[in-house]
Structure 1
Amino acid sequence: MNIDDVHGKIKKLQALPPVHVPERVLAEAMKQFEAKFPKSKTLQKELATSIPGGCEHTNAIKEPFPLVMHKAQDCYLWDIDGNRFIDYLMASGPIILGHNYPELRDHVIKIIQEQGPVTGFMVEAELAAAKKIKQHVKSVEQVRFFQTGTEVSMEAIRLARVFTGKQKVIKLDGSYHGWHDQMLLDLHVMGTKNILCHGIPIGCYEHTISVKPDDADRLEKVIKRNQGEGKGGVAAVFIEPPGGDGGTHPLHPEYYKAVREVCDRNDVLLVMDEVITGFRLALGGAQQYFGVKADLTMLGKIVGHGYPSAGALGGRADIMQYLAGGVGGTDKTGSTIQKNAYASGTLAGNTLTCSAAAKAIECIEKTGAIDIAARVADK
């Protein structure tokens, strides 16, 4: 199926009228639901007294009440009532080897027993994980680890501004790049601006521009319109492959190369948000799959294969040099403070997560997990 067929099917679905479920059918379904998940229903009432809304997971179905899970193994989840489910979400994407993959789990346990989960200083695992990322993502020359994909997004913006000296960033309408203030614009649903996000001062969007996807000519016009004295300039264009909101709004395969060319012509950095696609579409992520190289690559939970505190920003060495640890040094004369895109995080680059990252990539390599997943999805 080509991209035009995909877009055609999406338009047909969007044109269909809503399906109204008869009240009696809905009432019977709710009755069966409550009978099948009694422990979740009971615990939900208690959860609501300690956790806002009784649920803090974005992808959980909250009506009539969220299910409470007990165990994850291989491709399955079990809830506290003992029901087993096939898990197609896999913690929103990072777990391609399967939940609690034995070789990876045993490796992590050994690391905790022998080295501990975190030191607060450099560890060998950071180098091992960085080398694995560099081996497969050819555009990446250096890597800096973070704790979440949102942190990576925040730092990618800051780093692009430091390197280019420009202020504005461009995102595609409908894309999601973490939940920090600057990027909570037109997320998930195209054209919604900031109506889904409250508590964010309008000034936070001053230097964020949202553009229509799959229109490289329009993108270039927007970049040129913001060039010139007093306009701030565009520092970077952010793309979320395979399309906004985890592929809900799929991009044309040729669009990536077109955006690369636009960025090159206008001295703008291309940032590929591979939080969903890294080590999944291919070992080299969407960049390998679509044949394009980014200036900066964002990786999130995918780095740790489900183990916590995972995120990484990779890119060209001449850009990444501004991410050296610390608050910034001075030049050789000691009279001028060197430019620095400040970043921090006590648990960033910890022993546990970096060890899990290197081992998970090794397991993906030798099992051919990406090809296996693709074959199953094609059935």
Structure 2
Amino acid sequence: MSDPNVDMSDGVQMGARTLLAHAAAADDAAHDGLSGAIADFFIHDSHRLDERTRLGLARLIRALIDTVEGELRDHGIRQLQAQGEGELAESLARSTGVFAALSESGLLRDRTLMAELIAQVRQEQLAAALPIQAHDDPEQPSLVNRLVQHPDRVLAQCAMGLLIAESRRRSVPEQGPLPQTDLSAELHHRLVWWVAAALRQCVPGGSERDMSGAALLDRVLAEAAQRSLAAHDEGDRVEAAVMRLAVAIDARPEELPELLDEALGDRRVTLFAGLLAHALGVDYAVARDLALDSASSRLWVALRALGLERPAIARLGLALAQADPRRDIEAFAEQIDTIMAITVEDARAALAGLRLPVDYRAAVQALRRGPA
């Protein structure tokens, strides 16, 4: 039986305030949703992520965050337990919502991070879609497998290093962590500190925790982050491994067309980009962008800068067009005469800017665009 002397006004007022807060939040959410819908409607089709790329990107981002989060949480729990802080360790073990916290914060919208992850996803998709090129000798191993058996010890070790790095990169699970983030040192650094801060926010009981407990949690998470940073070696990345192999191969101009063709025939876009990068004297990321760019003619200009002739460019263009639905094979066929009209000297001059430091080029572009 209810007590008639209990004043219900405080509870009613609290409930009313909660409803008002929910209404205000819903209004903000509706505004943000409309803004997102408008932006999505006006985005050009050439810039829109297709559903397959979107799903692959979502899975990769989630896996990266799960990887770092697991490392930091596990180390933090061990440290807290070793210091006799079992209750705080249990709170850290029960923390959830790190991915949501980072998504809502806007940190994951970082242009450099997203550019790298989108490129990784598209690179893997392109490799998977490339037609398998039949060798004249059906018993002949792929290019990289042949290089593993090369009598040159440096070349063989670099080829084996690429195989190992690629096997790690391709083991992205449907859910759960990766063997390692496989990011550059700069991007790994950003992600680790973001996840550490989000993990701190998501540990239950934050508002009730005393200052000493909060300070201890901060110290343990910071130590876990520093441990992750110290263990990260960007030399293990696929991109680093493929550039070491490209340098070891050091293809002569007359060897390059066949090597590029065979790299695509073996569905190794990484090796194609690495060979291209070494020959052009540019960073791997620049060459990868050339290979993935279906909206411009930069790749064909780059191939002309390397002195490739019509048959080689036609074979490479056909293979890429068959694998990438964004490429128009008929438009490429019509463009081949124009491509071949570009002299090697003019092509090299047109690409000279790509050899400049990436930060310098970014600054030039920022000034050209003006205020955001």
TM over 0.5: no
- Which protein is richer in helix relative to its size? 2
Q: State TM-score, norm by structure 1.
A: 0.28
**What TM-score does the superposition give when structure 2 sets the normalisation length?**
0.29
Richer in strand (by share): 1
Greater Cα radius of gyration, structure 1 or 2: 2
